[in-house]
Amino acid sequence: MLKLKDVSKFYYNKGLIATGFTKINLELKMGEFVVITGESGSGKSTLLNVLSGLDSYEEGEMYINDEETSHYTEKDFEDYRRKYIANIFQSFNLVNSYTVYQNVELVMLLNGYKKSQVKQKVLDIIEKVGLTEFKNTKVSKLSGGQKQRVAIARAMIKETPIIVADEPTGNLDSASSKDVIELLKKVAKDRLVIVVTHNIEQVEEYATRIIKMHDGRIIENKEIKNVEVPEKVEESKYTKITIANKYRLGIRNTFNIIPKFLLLFAVFLFITVALLSEYASFSQTEYEANKAGYNVFFRDLSEERIIIKKKDKTAFTKEDYEKIEKLETVKYVVKDDVTLDSNISIYEEEMGIYLYGDAKEESFFDGELTAGRMPEKENEIVVRIPKDYYYVRNGAEQILNKEFRRDNDYSKYTRENAKILVVGVKLYEENDMFNYYGQNTTFYVTNEYLNKYREELNQNYSKIKSLFAGKYYESQQGNPYYRIQPSDKVASGTAIVSNEANGLFKDYKAKNKELKIEIENIYYKDELNLKVSNTYTKNSFTRITGNKDYDQNNGAIFINEEDYKSLFNKSSYQSSVFVKDEKDLEETKLKLEELGLSARPVKDFKVNEGKEILQIIKIFKLVVTVVLILALFFISYFIIRIILKSRNVYFTTLRMLGATNKNVKRILDIELFINSSIAYFSFIIFILLNKFEILNIEFIKTLLKFLSLREYILMYIILIIMSWLISRRFSKRIFKKSAIKTYNEEV
């Protein structure tokens, strides 16, 4: 059956060569009960390992069933072991965290038998070795003798032709040793049993051949009894491990050692929390940058607001508004969209009061005034202001009935500023500590006032170019030159310009020349073709233009009131829809689009400044996430490696019992997959408890606010991939060395 011809085995160890055995010649037949003896270090174990294909040899020839094996690959030896060999070790090599039943069953599961097929067989074998009453006991709780009987049961169940036992009684008392040897003898019938022992007397009566080794050589090889060689060698059958069995083992391994389960759980929980909170904190930054981004144009950032324009870029008509207002989810439409996003600052000279806030049409005011009344005249306003604000901390009367002036920089150059009278005050409790003063102050003004204000704003938001003599001149913020002013002294279709404009023409005459005014802003584009009807000087300024303030308005282009309105009073190119509930936003958006409108929720609106920051944050987020994942991977790999180190023996055992590298990896994969999933979903449950307010943890609330389902899924996938990579790395390490080497290092 097995034949060695001048076989030698050397160990190479850091440049040193040690001899396992040298020039062994040996022939072993089926049916033999071979006993090998010799002092420690004489090469017995090495010989057994080579014979059982656990270790390689360096010289000579080994024949298995008359087949030379020098060309055998690792896979061939694996097959050989699975078909022929069952090992029994001095240190039992059992899975301590498994029960007796599970240990015996393990070989069968690894060799492709179905669970249902093996049950009776396992029970029968356990019965044979006399451990039925312990079948559900964990192996760690058994005595040495009992453990070795489990190992024998395990060797028996596979029904291999060869059983190799390396000092099976080495750790046992004499009574147990006797049991074990007797058991081996029983098993031995028709098989080839090779036993290493120091205790010759115990085995003498059974042995058919006794081999003595000394210093790596066989010094005696004595056949005591003749054996009948069976005609045919029955190979042990095996197939690939079934998927179900891999899962069975993976699940079993997840839970069989509770401290290990908890440690892994803690590591995976840590990864989960780290990943999710990192991602959430970035989403939060992104969200804030986003908000900051569109603050530039949109001050009213209500979640309920949708900005609408007509797809054909024409102005809204009354019918359009009617259609929109009919939509069920629409609360109201703000036609003068511009004013929603504008702020006003006003000041009162006498007391030095300065107020700053959003302007809204008075009809939007709801609730009760703290003091005063609603506006009645164009220049009257109501102020809604936090009650602990400096200027009103002693009561609404501090600002009520005071006369203010508008203080926006550009307003200096516009038509005469109406004085503003505060006729009503509403004080309210401000809860949002992050909201800075001013942003939470609101002015409610009359419609007429808003109209004028809008014209002013439109001019301010617009790029205004005037074409004199084929050349464009642009109006600049804070400078009166080329600014457009309305005047009732100018006829429609004409313009009055400063006499300085004469210099723009070759003939030094502006009068009767063509003047084209072009304006463009984020809402619309327009142009006006005019004829210069007159020019003004400092002296004639007020007389010709009707404006009293030459110093602030010199250089401005005066046009007819109606022409002015046609340029700047165009609220209806863009409006805003407010929905009843944030939830209705998407649905309403779709409905508006069906009406031929372009509709964008203000929260989706990004202006350029914001976009760049967002882009940077996105790249940064990606980089940090990748770095974090790598760091987490290595940290957790090292921790998991330490946790799993105690499992090296287990995986080596699997290997010796016939599991391939892939099998081991898959079984570990499954274990880590289950564990990481449990950790992940525990955390999700924890999050949900917060969502439904059973728990109330601030940190979790942030996660909830800033992570979407997509991101939860993404993080889960990352976690699973990480656990998969960890398992791959770990199993690669195990398989770097031969099974027997790993085993010897660990035990």
CB of residue 214 to ligand ADP, shortest distance in Å = 10
Residue 591 contact partner, candidates Mg ion, ligand ADP, none, CB within 5 to 8 A by sort of partner? none
Q: Where are the strands (E) in 192-342, listed by range?
A: 192-196, 209-214, 217-223, 305-310, 330-334
Contact criterion met (CB below 8 Å) for 339 and 326? no
Return the one option of ligand ADP, Mg ion, none that residue 480 interacts with (CB less than 5 to 8 A, by type): none
Total residues at interface with Mg ion (CB under 5 A): 1
Nearest to 89 by CA among 29, 154, 40: 154
Within positions 249 to 278, which residues make up the interface with ligand ADP, using CB under 6 A?
A: none
Choose the one of ligand ADP, Mg ion, none that binds residue 46, judging by a C-beta under 5 to 8 angstroms depending on kind: ligand ADP
Q: Would you tell me how many other CB atoms lie within 10 Å of the CB of residue 295?
A: 15
Q: How far is the CB of 146 from ligand ADP (least distance, A)?
A: 25
Asked if 134 contacts 150 with a C-beta cutoff of 8 angstroms, the reply is no
Secondary structure class of 37 (helix, strand, coil):
strand
Min dist CB 148 to ligand ADP, Å, is: 18
Best CA proximity match to 249, nearest among 105, 140, 147: 105
Select 46 or 576, whichever has its Cβ closest to ligand ADP.
46
H/E run at residue 498: strand 494-498
Nearer to ligand ADP by Cβ, of 197 and 574: the residue is: 197
Task: State which residue, 13 or 116, has the beta carbon closest to ligand ADP.
Answer: 13
Q: Smallest distance from the beta carbon of 133 to ligand ADP, in angstroms?
A: 35
How far is residue 331's CA from residue 315's CA, in Å, rounded to a whole number?
A: 21
Nearest distance from residue 26's CB to Mg ion, in Å?
A: 17
Please report the beta strands in 99-191, taking only residues with DSSP state E, as ranges in sequence order. 162-166
Query: What is the C-alpha to C-alpha distance for residues 401 and 539, in angstroms, rounded to an integer?
Result: 38
- Which residue lies nearer to ligand ADP by CB, 41 or 503? 41
Options 22, 37, 42, 45; binder of Mg ion; rule CB under 5 A: 45
Count of residues interacting with ligand ADP (CB under 6 A): 12
Contacts with ligand ADP in 628-657 (CB under 6 A)? none
Q: Which option in ligand ADP, Mg ion, none does residue 503 bind, with CB closer than 5 to 8 A by kind?
A: none
Q: Is the dihedral of CA 197, 200, 206, 211 positive or negative?
A: positive
Least distance between ligand ADP and beta carbon 185 (Å): 22
**What x-and-dash track marks residues 38-77 binding ligand ADP by CB under 6 A?**
x-xxxxxxx-------------------------------
Which residues, in sequence order, are CB contacts of 567 under 8 Å at separation 6+? 458, 484, 517, 519, 526, 528
Nearest distance, CB of residue 43 and Mg ion, angstroms: 8
CB 191 within 8 A of CB 31: yes
Q: Distance between CA 82 and CA 239 in Å, rounded?
A: 10
SS3 669: helix
Q: Does 168 bind ligand ADP (CB under 6 A)?
A: no
253 binds, among ligand ADP, Mg ion, none (CB under 5 to 8 A by kind): none
- Quote the least distance from Cβ 216 to ligand ADP, whole Å: 6
85/559 with CB nearer ligand ADP: 85
Which DSSP symbol is given to 237?
P
CB of 43 to ligand ADP, least distance (A): 4
- Out of Mg ion, ligand ADP, none, what residue 20 binds, judged by CB under 5 to 8 A for its kind, is ligand ADP
Sequence length of the chain is 747
719-722: long-range contacts, CB 8 A cutoff, minimum separation 24: 719/268, 719/271, 719/272, 719/275, 719/676, 719/680, 720/673, 720/676, 720/677, 722/271, 722/629, 722/632, 722/633, 722/636, 722/676
Q: What is the distance, to the nearest Å, from the Cα of residue 160 to the centroid of all Cα atoms in its chain?
A: 50
CB of 17 to ligand ADP, least distance (A): 9
- Contact partner at residue 11 from ligand ADP, Mg ion, none, CB < 5 to 8 Å by partner kind: ligand ADP
CB of 134 to Mg ion, least distance (A): 28
CB nearer to Mg ion: pick between 45 and 256: 45
- Least Å from the CB of residue 45 to Mg ion: 3
| Minimum CB distance to ligand ADP smaller for 43 or for 168 | 43
Task: Select from Mg ion, ligand ADP, none the partner in contact with residue 38, using the beta carbon and a kind-dependent cut-off of 5 to 8 Å.
Answer: ligand ADP
Return the range that interacts with Mg ion (CB under 5 A); candidates 45-53, 135-143, 146-154, 497-505.
Answer: 45-53
Residues 4-43 binding ligand ADP (CB under 6 A) are: 11, 13, 18, 20, 38, 40-43
Beta carbons of 647 and 667 less than 8 angstroms apart: no
Question: CA-CA distance, 6 to 3, in Å (whole number)?
Answer: 10
Name which of 54 and 515 has its Cβ closer to ligand ADP: 54
Contacts of 169 (CB under 8 A, 6+ apart): 148, 176, 177, 180, 181, 197, 199, 202
2 vs 48 by CB, closer to Mg ion: 48
Q: Which residue's CB is nearer to ligand ADP, number 166 or number 179?
A: 166
For ligand ADP, the closer of residues 625 and 738 by Cβ is 738
Count of other CB atoms within 10 angstroms of residue 98: 22
Q: Which residue is nearest to Mg ion (CB)?
A: 45
Both tokens of residue 183? 């058991």
Terminal alpha carbon distance of the chain: 31
* Cβ neighbours for 293, distance < 8 A, ≥ 6 positions apart: 606, 607, 609, 610, 611, 613, 614
Q: How far is the CB of 166 from ligand ADP (least distance, A)?
A: 7
Binding site for ligand ADP (CB under 6 A): 11, 13, 18, 20, 38, 40-46
Binding site for Mg ion (CB under 5 A): 45
